[in-house]
Amino acid sequence: MRPSIVILTGAGISAESGVPTFRASDGLWCGHRVEAVATPEGFAANPVLVHDFYNQRRAQLKAVVPNAAHQALARLSAAYDGDVLLVTQNVDDLHDRSHRGVTPKRGFGLIHMHGELLRARCVETGKTCDWRGDIHIDTPSPFGTLGLRPDIVWFGEMPFQMDRIYDALSGCGLFISIGTSGNVYPAAGFVQEATRAGAHTVELNLDPSQGHSLFQERLYGPATEVVPAYIERLL
């Protein structure tokens, strides 16, 4: 059995598919303050705005497809003789789609730590379900009476499956960070967790992240170029 791998992906891997990055240089996300569309307080203040924002993001998924970087990670999941945990901060479904027609090996797992655009959460019960259409303030929940919200982890909320992620980091032999800014926690701290476990750490990014100096190996360029090239070294 080869060393286990934990891979973290961020907005940079999906940007080349045409998915807007989370925060632009002006501090806005697709023209909106993050506080207005990505916090529980923003949802409570203006649920119509928040639903409209995520309805647009959900609809945009129809116009994008997985790129060569997503496909390289899918090949890794099917060919690597060891555990691979792919943790994405992205709320798109491009990793999921890149695995269609691919049979991952038994040790592969995929975690959307910040949620998914194509899932909805019941405001009353917290239960979730697949959801591909629009959500409005009067859209009934299958589980309760208070309606639905996007199944997205907003600022101030705990990302999903953190215990599983930290457990994998504590035992991994290789940690790869792809397309991340290095300034959003807790994901920005994963490299330090992996280092404490004795793992080799690699940053694959368009430009150096804020935490680039924490990585033992750093390769820079478009994700569609550097990711497939690095993955080929592992196969």
Residue 216 assigned as binding residue: no
Contact of 151 with 116, CB cutoff 8 Å: yes
181 annotated as ligand-binding:
yes
User: Any binding-site annotation on 91?
Assistant: yes
**28 annotated to bind ligand:** yes
Distance from C-alpha of 72 to C-alpha of 104, rounded to nearest angstrom: 12
Task: Check the annotation: does 81 bind a ligand.
Answer: no
> Which residue among the candidates 51, 70, 95, 114 is catalytic per the annotation?
114
20 marked among binding-site residues: yes
Long-range CB contact pairs, 39-48, < 8 A, 24+: 39/154, 39/155, 39/156, 40/154, 40/156, 40/157, 41/156, 42/154, 43/149, 43/154, 47/137, 47/149, 48/136, 48/137
Known binding residue 29? Answer is yes
Q: Does residue 209 have a known ligand-binding role?
A: no
114 is catalytic: yes
DSSP 8-class letter at 158: P
Residue numbers annotated as active site? 114
- Residues belonging to the binding site for NAD(+) are 10-29, 89-92, 179-181, 223
- Residues belonging to the binding site are 10-29, 54, 57, 89-92, 179-181, 223
- Residues belonging to the binding site for substrate are 54, 57
